[in-house]
C-alpha cells in the first residue's frame, strides 16, 4: 500500500508523543525505519503533486525530509542530507501562508527546518517565526540554536558526524553540560 501524507501525519502526531519527537529512542528510530525509510528515499528522489496538494500534505513532506532523517540515520551524515529539501518546502509554506492553516501545535514543524539550518539568516527567520507562534518552549530552543550559529557559524555537535574539525572555541562549547541539541 502506498503511503500518504495522512499516514505520516497520523504516525507523527497520533502514534508518537512529543517526548518521542525529541528524545533518542532506538525503538522509535527502528519503527520509523521500518515504516518510512522507503518513503523517505522515494521522496528524496521525486516529490509527486500529492505531497504538495495542501498545508497538511506539505507538512507531512517536511516531516519526512526534516524530522524522519534524524531518526532514520541517527549519528550519520545522512541525518542532515535532506535538510535543504525540508527548508525549501518550509520556505514555500511560510511564503504562501500554508503554515497558518494548520493547528498551532503542528505549525512548529514548518519552522524547524529554519532552526536546523546553519545559515544565520535562516536562524533569524526561525526566531521570528517561533516568536509569532507564541510557544515559549519552542522559542527558547530557536533562540538557543540562533546563539550557537551566531557564535560558531555552525552546529559544533554535528562536527564529528560530518567529519569536521572542532575549533578551540567549539571544543570549549562541547565540553559544557547539555551542549548540542
86-122: per-residue pLDDT in tens?
999 999 999 999 999 999 989 999 999 999 999 999 9
Cβ–Cβ under 8 Å, residues 56 and 9: yes
Q: Residue 179 to residues 24, 113, 145, 147, 174: CA-CA distances in angstroms? A: 15, 20, 11, 12, 5
Q: Quick one: 174 exposed, middle or buried, by C-beta within 10 A (0-12, 13-18, 19+)?
A: middle
**Can you read off the three cell numbers belonging to residue 179?**
551542549
d(CA 142, CA 123): 7
Q: How far is CA 56 from the centre of its chain?
A: 16
pTM of the model: 0.95
> What mean pLDDT comes out for the span 130-157?
97
Residue 178's pLDDT band (cuts 50, 70, 90): confident
d(CA 86, CA 149): 19
Amino acid at each position: 500500500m502506498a503511503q500518504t501524507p495522512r499516514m505520516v501525519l497520523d504516525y507523527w502526531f497520533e502514534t508518537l508523543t512529543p517526548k518521542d519527537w525529541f528524545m533518542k529512542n532506538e525503538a522509535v528510530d527502528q519503527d520509523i525505519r521500518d515504516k518510512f525509510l522507503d518513503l523517505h528515499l522515494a521522496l528524496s528522489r521525486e516529490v509527486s503533486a500529492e505531497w504538495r496538494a495542501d498545508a497538511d500534505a506539505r507538512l507531512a513532506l517536511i516531516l519526512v525530509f526534516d524530522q524522519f532523517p534524524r531518526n532514520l540515520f541517527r549519528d550519520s551524515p545522512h541525518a542532515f542530507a535532506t535538510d535543504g529539501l525540508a527548508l525549501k518546502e518550509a520556505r514555500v509554506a511560510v511564503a504562501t501562508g500554508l503554515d497558518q492553516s494548520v493547528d498551532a501545535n503542528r505549525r512548529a514543524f514548518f519552522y524547524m527546518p529554519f532552526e536546523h539550518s546553519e545559515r544565520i539568516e535562516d536562524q533569524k527567520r526561525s526566531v521570528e517565526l517561533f516568536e509569532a507562534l507564541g510557544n515559549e518552549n519552542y522559542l527558547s530552543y530557536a533562540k538557543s540554536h540562533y546563539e550557537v550559529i551566531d557564535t560558531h557559524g555552525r552546529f559544533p555537535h554535528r562536527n564529528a558526524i560530518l567529519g569536521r574539525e572542532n575549533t578551540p572555541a567549539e571544543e570549549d562549547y562541547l565540553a559544557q553540560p547539555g551542549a548540542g541539541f
